[in-house]
Structure 1
Amino acid sequence: MYHLLEQRLREIDTNQLYPYLRNARTGLEKESLRVTPDNRLSQRDHPKVLGSALTHPWITTDYAESLIELITPPQERAAQALDFLLNIETFVYQQLEDERLWTTSMPCVLAGEDDIRIAEYGNSNAGRMKHIYREGLAWRYGKAMQVIAGIHFNYSIDEAFWQPWQQVQGDQGELRTFRDAQYMALVRNLQRYGWLIIYLFGTSPAICKSFLGNRPVPEGMEAFNEYTLYEPFGTSLRMGNIGYTNSKENKTGVKVCYNTLETYINSLRRAITTPCPIYGEIGVKVAGEYRQLNANTLQIENEYYSTVRPKQPLQGFEKPTDALEKRGIAYVELRSIDVNAFHPAGLTRRQLFFLEVFMHFCLLQESPLVSAEEFEVINHNQMLTAHRGRDPEVRLSCLGKSVLLRDHARELLQAMRPVAEMLNTVHGEDCYTDCLDSQIQLAYNPDITPSARMLEEMHAKQESFFEFAQRKSDEHRDYFLKRELDPALAEEFQQLAATSLIRQQAIEDSEEMDFDSFLNAYLSGTLADIKN
C-alpha cells in the first residue's frame, strides 16, 4: 500500500532534494466568536479599533458580525505562523474592553436565529456583496451552523521543489501542469485520509442545547446534563451532521470532482451557473431587497463546503475558479481543524508539526483518482469518525474492506514515520518524529484525545459544555491580557487598522457603478481587472 511512498522517499534521498523542501509556507486562519461578560453572543459592531473587516489583511469577520477571523500571512515555518497568530490575538484582546473570544468551535448560548447578526462590510459594492452572500446562506441553511468556528491550515510546498522533482519523475510537460497535478493528488489524499485529523484534533464532542433551537435532537446524541448534549464517542460534532456541510448536495446536484484541476474548476463553475428550483423559491431580489446573490446551486464558489480546497490568491475582484485557471494552485487549505480549547492559540506546535508531516505524506503517497463510490466512502468515513471516532469497535471502509478505525489510524501513522524523518533531515530538528510519536499515543489511547479530555474535565468538574467553554475562555483571556506585545508590532497593528478604515472609505467614495451592474459584472467574471 505504501510502495510508491517508499520509492519517492528514496528518490528524494538519492537526488538530495532535501534543501528544496526547506522553504514551505504555512498560514493560519482562526475564527472566534466575540461574547459579552455574561457569555452571550455579542451584538456590537466589529470594533473600529480593529480596523475594517472589508480591507484589513489580518483581522476580519466571517459569517457573523461577532465572528472574528484572524489571518496570518504565509510564514517560513509553521511555528512562526503560530507565533504570528498569538500576536494578532494579543492585539485584539488589548482592544476588546469587556468582551472575550469564545474558545471552542461550537458556539455559546444562542437565543435563536435573531441573536446572530450577519456581518456588515460597509456601503461599497464589494461590502454589500459579502453581506448579501451571507444573507443567502441564512435563507438556504439557517444561521446557527454558520457561527461554528474552526481553524484553517494553509500550506504550500517549497516552490523550488517542483522543477527538480519533475525531472526526477521523468515528466516532460509544463512545470505548472505538473505542479497542479501534484497538488490535486495531495488534495485527494487529504480527503481520503482526512478522517484521521478529525479523530486526532477533534475537540467538539458536546454542544449547548440552545444550538439546536427548535430542531429535534439528532440520533445518537444524548443528554450530558440539563443544558448539554453530547455523543459518548464523538470527536468533532462540528464536522458531523449538525455542522456546516453540504447536506443538500443530493437535492441540489452539487458534484465537485477533484481528479484534476480542470474537472474541479468545471464542476464548481457548473454549480455556480446552474439555476436551482429550491433556491429559486426563495427569490433573489424581493421588494427591492436582495435575499441572495442568485438562485443557482451555489451563489459563489466558497459556498461549497469541503474539508480541503486548492487555492490561488485573488487579484482584484477575480473569481476563485478564474484565478485557479489562470495561475494554477499556489497552496492547499485544510479546513477540518477544530479550535483546541486546551491552548490559547487554538492549536499547538506539535499539532502544527504533525500537519506538515501529514501534508507531505499525502503528497508523496499514491493518490488514485476518486470515483463516485469512493467519494461516498470518504464522506462516510469522515462522518463516522466525527460521531463515533473513539468507539473501540467503530470500523471504516478502506480499499473495499472494513477495518477498525484504531488499527487503520496506527497503520497510517506508522507509515508516516519515514516522512517525519525526512522533514527532520530537511530542517535539522527532531520535532517531526517527536510530534508523530505524540499522535501515535492518541491512536493507541482514545482517552487522551482532545475530545475525550474535554468530556473528562466536564465530568470531573460537573460542568455543562457552556461552563467548560466559559472557564477555558476566561483562562485564555487572562493569558492574552498578561502577554506583552512588542511595542513596534503593536504600533504596526494599530497603523494597519487605521489604514484599513481609510481604504474602505476611499473605496466607498470612489465607486460609480450601481450595485446591480457590479454584481452582474462580478458573476460574469468581467470585474477581474478592477483592484480592490
Structure 2
Amino acid sequence: MNQDFSGLLNSLKQLAQTGLGEQIGRGIERETLRIKANGQLAQTPHQRQRLGSNLTNPLITTDYAENLLEFVTPVEHNHAQLMDALKDIHSYTIDAIGDELLWPMSMPCFVGNDDDIPLATYGQSNVGMMKHIYRRGLKARYGSTMQIIAGIHYNFSLPESFWPQWQKILGNEQPLQEFISDQYMHIIRNFYRYGWVISYWFGASPALCKSFIQDRQSRLEFKSLGQGSLYLPYATSLRMSDLGYTSSAHSNLQISYNSLKEYVCSVRKATQTPSKEFAKLGVKVDGEYRQLNSNALQIENELYAPIRAKRVTQSGQTPSQALYEKGIEYIEVRSLDLNPFVPQGVDSFQLQFIDSLLLWCLIMPSESFAPGELQQCRDNLNQVAVEGRDPELKLAINGQERFVHDWLSEINQGMSQLASALGEPYAAAFERVTQRPPLSEQLLAQLLSEDEDNNKLALELAKNHKLALQEHSLSVWSKAQLDEVVAQSLEKQKMIEQQDTLSFDEYIQDYFARAREPISS
C-alpha cells in the first residue's frame, strides 16, 4: 500500500466514529423479468391498474420492455431500512401479478426471437412517447434480447457534512462543489481500475440459455449444460462481458473521466456525433420514428458503463447539463448481477462490501487516466467476466501485470482495514463475502452437480422466492399507502398528457435544441 493510505485510513476511521456509515445515502434500482409459471416470458402488459403508471410511479416502473420490471427504492441511510423498502416493493408487486413470477437471474430466460419482447409503452404524452421511441432505437441498434439482461444499480452518496471535513484533511482549497465532483471522479477512475472485484465476488451469470446466443457469433468456447444451457468454467458475469449489456458500438467513444468538465463534454459530443451505421436504419421511416436520431448515442442514457456520475435533473435538463451546472450529487454502480439466491436480488452484505470498496477507491491514489488506460480497464472487466476464477488469469493495472489472485490479495488487505475502520457490521460483511466462494462458483457448482439447466434452477428459485415474498409483512409502507402511490401515479400521467401543447415532432426538435445549448459555467 502507498504511504498516504494509513494516514487517510486513520482520518476516515475518525469520521466513521461520528456515524459516517449511517449517514451515507443509498438507493437501489432492481430489474427483473416477469415470467409465466412455466418459465417463459410473460406477454401480458404492465399491470397499470395494480402497479400504477410506469411513467410516474416512483417505486415501480418498467425498463426496456413491458415485462421487464424495475423497482426503485427511496434514498435511505440505513441498510436494514433499505432492504425492507426493497422487500416491500417486491411483496406488493408479487401480489399484483397473479400467477406470474419474477425471474431471479441476470441473463434472460428462453427467448424465441426479438418480437417476443414487447417494448415498454408509457402513454401518449410527449415524454412518454420519447421513452418508447428511444427503446425502438435500442431494438434497431442492438436487438431486444441484450436489452432484457437484468441487474442491480446501486446509488451511493456521501453526506454533505463529510465533504468539508475531508477537504480540510486533504488540505484542499477548491470551491466545495468543485472539490466534491473531483473526489467522485477520483472514485470513478479507481472503480474502473478495481471495480472488477464486484464481478469476481458477486457475478452470478456464468451460464445462460442457448436461446440468448442463437445465430450470434461468439469467440467464447462455451460448454453445454443440461438440455439447453451453456456455461464457461471460470466465468463470473456474462452480463458484464462483451456478450452482455456492454456494446462494441461504443468502443470508439472517447469518454473522459479525468475531470467532470471533460466527462460532460465527451458525453455530449457522443450524443451529437453522427453514426454512419445507425443512419442506415433511418430515423423516421414511413411516417413512424424508428429511433430518436442517428447519432452515436440517441441520448446520454444510452452510454453503457459500470459506474456513472449522477445528479437529479430538473425539468428540461439533460443529465450532463445538470452535472455541469451543479456538480456530481451521487454515483451509480451498475455492475452488480442479480443475486439469484435471495428474493430481492441483493443482500445487505453485498451493499456493505460495495460501500467499503467505494471508500477504498476514495482513499487510494487516483491519477488521471493515461492514454489507453481506460480501455485496459474495460478489457480487465471483460476478462474477469468470462474467466475471472481462472488461477492463471493476469490483469494489468497501473502498468503492472499480476495474477488476479495477487491483485485480490492486495485489494483485500486494504479493504479489510477500511471495513474494520467503518465498524463491526462492515468488517463482518467483508469477512462473509471473502471467506466464501464467489457467487458464480456457488451457482455453477449447483448446476454441474446435477447437470441441471440454468433455466430449470432459476424457475425453482423463482417459485421459492414468490412464497417468501408472499409471507413478507410490509414494514416501510402499508398496503394502503402503496395503493395511494399507484392511484397518484395514474392521475399524474393523465395530467402530463393533458398539459402537452406541442406535437411530438416539435417536442423532439425542442428537446434536442436545448440539449445542444452550450453548458453554462
Q: What TM-score comes out, normalization by structure 1 length?
A: 0.94
Q: Shift of the alpha carbon at 1:38?
A: 1.7
Kept in 2: contact 1:24–1:159 (CA 8 A):
no
Which of 497, 500, 508 is 2:486 aligned to?
A: 497
Counterpart code for 2:500: E
Counterpart code for 2:4: L
Note closer, same or farther for the CA distance 1:524–1:3 as it changes in structure 2 (3 Å cut): farther
Kept in 2: contact 1:317–1:522 (CA 8 A):
yes
Identity %: 38
Q: Shift of the alpha carbon at 1:338?
A: 0.3
The whole-number CA distance in structure 2 between the counterparts of 1:261 and 1:103 is: 36
Partner of 2:296: 297
Q: What does 1:249-260 align with in structure 2 at a 5 Å threshold?
A: 249-250=250-251, 253-260=252-259
The answer as to 2:107 corresponding to 1:118 is: no
Counterpart code for 2:185: M
Counterpart code for 2:376: V
Partner of 1:515: 504
Counterpart code for 1:372: P
**Number of equivalences:** 516
> Which structure 2 residue ranges, 5 or more long, are not aligned?
none
The whole-number CA distance in structure 1 between the counterparts of 2:198 and 2:477 is: 37
The whole-number CA distance in structure 1 between the counterparts of 2:151 and 2:476 is: 29
Counterpart code for 1:152: H
The whole-number CA distance in structure 1 between the counterparts of 2:291 and 2:122 is: 16
The whole-number CA distance in structure 2 between the counterparts of 1:113 and 1:78 is: 38
The whole-number CA distance in structure 2 between the counterparts of 1:480 and 1:494 is: 18
Note closer, same or farther for the CA distance 1:486–1:440 as it changes in structure 2 (3 Å cut): closer
Note closer, same or farther for the CA distance 1:26–1:486 as it changes in structure 2 (3 Å cut): closer
The whole-number CA distance in structure 2 between the counterparts of 1:109 and 1:231 is: 18
Partner of 1:480: 469
SS in 1 for 2:277: helix
Partner of 1:80: 81
Q: Shift of the alpha carbon at 1:158?
A: 1.3
Which of 444, 451, 454 is 2:440 aligned to?
A: 451
Partner of 2:351: 352
The whole-number CA distance in structure 1 between the counterparts of 2:92 and 2:497 is: 27
The answer as to 2:193 corresponding to 1:199 is: no
The whole-number CA distance in structure 2 between the counterparts of 1:507 and 1:292 is: 23
Q: Shift of the alpha carbon at 1:156?
A: 0.2
Note closer, same or farther for the CA distance 1:17–1:328 as it changes in structure 2 (3 Å cut): farther
Q: Shift of the alpha carbon at 1:109?
A: 0.7
The whole-number CA distance in structure 1 between the counterparts of 2:450 and 2:392 is: 28
The answer as to 2:295 corresponding to 1:267 is: no
Q: What does 1:122-161 align with in structure 2 at a 5 Å threshold?
A: 122-161=123-162
Partner of 2:226: 225
RMSD: 1.7
SS in 1 for 2:372: helix
Kept in 1: contact 2:88–2:477 (CA 8 A):
no
Q: Shift of the alpha carbon at 1:8?
A: 1.2
Worse-superposed segment, 397-406 or 310-319: 397-406
Note closer, same or farther for the CA distance 1:34–1:12 as it changes in structure 2 (3 Å cut): closer
SS in 2 for 1:509: helix
SS in 2 for 1:52: coil
The answer as to 2:103 corresponding to 1:102 is: yes
Worse-superposed segment, 80-89 or 199-208: 80-89
Q: Shift of the alpha carbon at 1:218?
A: 3.9
Q: Shift of the alpha carbon at 1:125?
A: 0.2
The whole-number CA distance in structure 2 between the counterparts of 1:118 and 1:413 is: 42
Note closer, same or farther for the CA distance 1:517–1:60 as it changes in structure 2 (3 Å cut): same
1:377-408 C-alpha deviation (Å, 9 max, x unpaired): 10111011000011111111133232111121
Partner of 1:364: 363
1:276-319 C-alpha deviation (Å, 9 max, x unpaired): 11111111111110011111110011101000001001112321
SS in 1 for 2:71: strand
Q: Shift of the alpha carbon at 1:369?
A: 0.8
The answer as to 2:468 corresponding to 1:467 is: no
Counterpart code for 1:363: L
Kept in 2: contact 1:21–1:158 (CA 8 A):
no
Counterpart code for 2:123: G
The whole-number CA distance in structure 1 between the counterparts of 2:130 and 2:160 is: 34
SS in 1 for 2:309: strand
Partner of 2:175: 174
Q: Shift of the alpha carbon at 1:332?
A: 0.4
SS in 1 for 2:478: helix
Kept in 2: contact 1:12–1:18 (CA 8 A):
no
Counterpart code for 1:409: L
Counterpart code for 1:353: Q
Q: Shift of the alpha carbon at 1:14?
A: 6.6
Q: What does 1:230-241 align with in structure 2 at a 5 Å threshold?
A: 230-241=231-242
Q: Shift of the alpha carbon at 1:122?
A: 0.5
Kept in 1: contact 2:138–2:144 (CA 8 A):
yes
The whole-number CA distance in structure 1 between the counterparts of 2:369 and 2:240 is: 21
SS in 2 for 1:416: helix
Q: Shift of the alpha carbon at 1:246?
A: 2.5
Note closer, same or farther for the CA distance 1:97–1:14 as it changes in structure 2 (3 Å cut): closer
Kept in 2: contact 1:25–1:158 (CA 8 A):
yes
Partner of 1:427: none
SS in 1 for 2:248: coil
Which of 420, 427, 431 is 2:425 aligned to?
A: 431
Note closer, same or farther for the CA distance 1:134–1:12 as it changes in structure 2 (3 Å cut): same
Kept in 1: contact 2:257–2:369 (CA 8 A):
yes
Q: What does 1:327-406 align with in structure 2 at a 5 Å threshold?
A: 327-406=326-405
1:70-102 C-alpha deviation (Å, 9 max, x unpaired): 000110123321211011001101111111110
Counterpart code for 2:207: A
Partner of 2:186: 185
Kept in 2: contact 1:410–1:440 (CA 8 A):
no
Worse-superposed segment, 367-376 or 69-78: 367-376
Q: Shift of the alpha carbon at 1:455?
A: 1.3
Kept in 2: contact 1:21–1:161 (CA 8 A):
no
Note closer, same or farther for the CA distance 1:495–1:13 as it changes in structure 2 (3 Å cut): closer
Kept in 2: contact 1:258–1:264 (CA 8 A):
yes
> Which structure 1 residue ranges, 5 or more long, are not aligned?
425-429, 443-447
The whole-number CA distance in structure 2 between the counterparts of 1:107 and 1:246 is: 17
